[in-house]
Structure formats: structure tokens, C-alpha cells
Structure 1
């Protein structure tokens, strides 16, 4: 009986070692929670303070009117949210990696970032094209879609739950592409609420 328990323990240890070597497991749940909080705060400021809510498709910067006047503020706000989210993720994931006795930057993380980079770069360039042509109503759908693709790609190198988060983002992106008037709401749900729920789940499942 004792020998059987030893075998089970050894198998569990081997599995843990193999998982650590093939997957990046230092993503902190709190990083997702904080990213969601930043996104919800940003969506509130964009809508309530800047009056930014592209709820219809317009096809030129002239037709965009008031949206174009508030767009530079919203862009700087989005950059600030992105910097905060990335900085928080690096800080919290670095702490988690140190506790696990691992390095935050390694070949596995490099492959993960490469998988995310392609859809994120393409999506970012497409957003710039949309902004330049005044197609502001498509910003929320395409940002959700390409971000969801990036998460889906990255899930093969980290927790499988990231795949589900990516699918949620893509579903919200498709929904907001059809119902353009709900674009900002879908953006807040995807980048805000979905991140918070994902972060809470990951924290309680893997970090407590």
C-alpha cells in the first residue's frame, strides 16, 4: 500500500515538472482582476467624461463629428490603461514566479509572446486604419476579436482557461460587430468583467 502511494506521488511530481517545463504558470490571477478594473474605469471615463460612444457606423472623420473631437483623449486613455495593465501583470507575475523559484523571462515566455504578437500587431494596425478613416464603430469589435485570437493562441503555452477567455472575447467581438450600438458595452464586458471573473477564478483555483 505504501509503495503504491509512493508511485502515485512520484507520478504527480513528474507530471508537475513536465508541466512547468512546457507551460508558463506564473500568470497571476490578480493581474487579470486589476486589468478588468482598469478597463471598466476607462470605459466609464470614455463614456461619461469624454462622451465617447461610437454607437453607429460612420464612414468619414467628418461624419464622426463629436466622436472625432474626443478621440485623441480616448486614445491616450487607452494607452494609459494598456500600460497600467501590462505593468501590473509583469509586477504580479514576477512576484509569483519568484515564489515558485522560476524566472519570469525564459524561452517559454518568449514563444508565448510571439504567439500573441501576430494577432495583436495586425489588430493594432487595423485599428489605426479604422481611426484614420473615421470607422470608429468598428474599433470595439475588432479589438475584441484580435485580442481573443491572441489569448487563444497563447493558451497552448499557459493555463488552458485562457482559451475560454479568448473565446469569450471573440464571441463578444462578433456580437458587437452585428449590434454596433452595443460596442462600448461589449468592450467593457470583454476587457473588464470577463478579466475580473477570470482573475478571481484563477486566483482561487491556483494561488490559494
Structure 2
């Protein structure tokens, strides 16, 4: 009888977690989002080098308006690819384990994620508009970290470690202006891949 009660309690806890948390998030989403950022970051690095600027060794880096515009659109492409991969693997996991996708927990998670991201996006556009290009990479890391931490309560709690890592990395990069691309590749590329692999292994 006692064993049956324990099984019932476990079932109830499972149902409560399914209703209160978005658990369809796939670790592969993080892996492929990281790969997209890594490939995009390497491409940007080569683009900067080809423009005549030695990214690593030059103390003073200047970028033309055309290059800045191109970098902006590359960032948009990376964002779209990461979102597409995230959607694909989330839907695939949901169908595989018969999990609901569009629930109240999903809506709350997306809202808590979107508010800091939207504020960060506007802030970064203002930085670009005023020519403070060196602060864009740190700002994206910081606001993304805050967004992930803010959304953690509606999905896997492990995701907060990614959020704090991005936030700390962004704060450190504020003191190394000019090397933002390297921090950006580390944060959005390497950290995402590492996090995704850990999550995939833990929750596959």
C-alpha cells in the first residue's frame, strides 16, 4: 500500500511539473543554436580580418558603415537560425514524448524571456545608432543572461546556470572593449553547445 501511495505521489508531482513548467525544451536546441553562433562568429572574424583590421593585435579598430550594417544582418541571420533550430527540436521532442507545447507555462516562459530580450534589443540598437559598437557584444550577453534567468522558473531549473554564465561573461567583457566578438563566440557559441550537450544527456 505504501508503495502505491509513493507511486501516486510521484505521478501527481509529474503532472504538476508538466502543467507548471515548459519541459519540451530540447538540449539539441542549445547545441545547434551554439553551432549557429560559432559558425557566424568565425565568419564575422574572417570578415573583419578581410576588411584590413587585425582584430586580435590592433589596438585601434575602425569599422566602416557598410561593415557595421553587414555585421548587423549577420546577427539577424544567426538569431533566425537559432530560433528555427530551437523550434524544430522542441516540436520533435514534444511529439516523441507526447508533451503539450502551447501551455500556460509556455506563454509565461516566453513572456519572461521576451521582456529582457526586447529591452536589450532596443538598448543595442541605441548603442549602434550612437556609435558605441564596442558595447554591443557585452550588452547582448548581459541582457540574454538576464532573460534566461528570468525565464528559468517556468522551465528546467538547470537553465539558470547558463543564464548566470552569460551574465558574468558579459560583465567581464565590459572591461575588455574591443574583444567583444571573442566573448560573444564563447558565450553564445561554446557555452550554448556545452549546456545543450549536458541537458540532452540529462533529459533525453
1:79 paired residue among 76, 80, 83: 76
What value does the CA root-mean-square deviation take over the aligned residues? 2.0
SS at match of 1:180: coil
Please, which of 29, 38, 41 is the counterpart of residue 39 of structure 2? 41
Match of 2:25 in 1: 27
Q: CA deviation at 1:110?
A: 1.0
Q: TM-score, normalised by structure 2?
A: 0.91
| 8 Å CA contact 2:20, 2:154 repeated in 1 | yes
Alpha carbons of structure 1 residues 18 and 180: separation in structure 2 relative to 1, 3 Å: same
Question: Which residue number in structure 2 is paired with residue 68 of structure 1?
Answer: 65
Question: CA offsets per residue over residues 76-116 of structure 1, 9 Å max, x none?
Answer: 11111111110111111011112222332222211111111
The answer as to whether partners of 2:20 and 2:104 remain within 8 angstroms in 1 is no
CA distance in 2 between partners of 1:77 and 1:122 (Å): 20
Q: Relative to total residues, which structure has the larger helix share, 1 or 2?
A: 1
Aligned to 1:178, the other structure's residue is in SS state: coil
Aligned length: 200
Instruction: Tell me, in whole angstroms, the C-alpha distance in 2 between the residues paired with 1:191 and 1:130.
Output: 20
Indicate how the Cα distance of structure 1 residues 180 and 105 shifts in structure 2: closer, same or farther if over 3 A, else same: same
Contact 1:55 1:182 in 2 (8 A): no
Equivalent residue for 1:109, pick from 106, 110, 117? 106
Q: Deviations over 1:124-183 (max 9, x none)?
A: 001111111110000111000000000000000000011111000000000000122331
TM-score by length of 1: 0.90
Q: Distance in 2 between matches of 1:57 and 1:126?
A: 26
Structure 2, gaps ≥5 residues long: none
Q: Name which of structure 1's ranges 106-115 and 25-34 shifts more when overlaid on structure 2.
A: 106-115
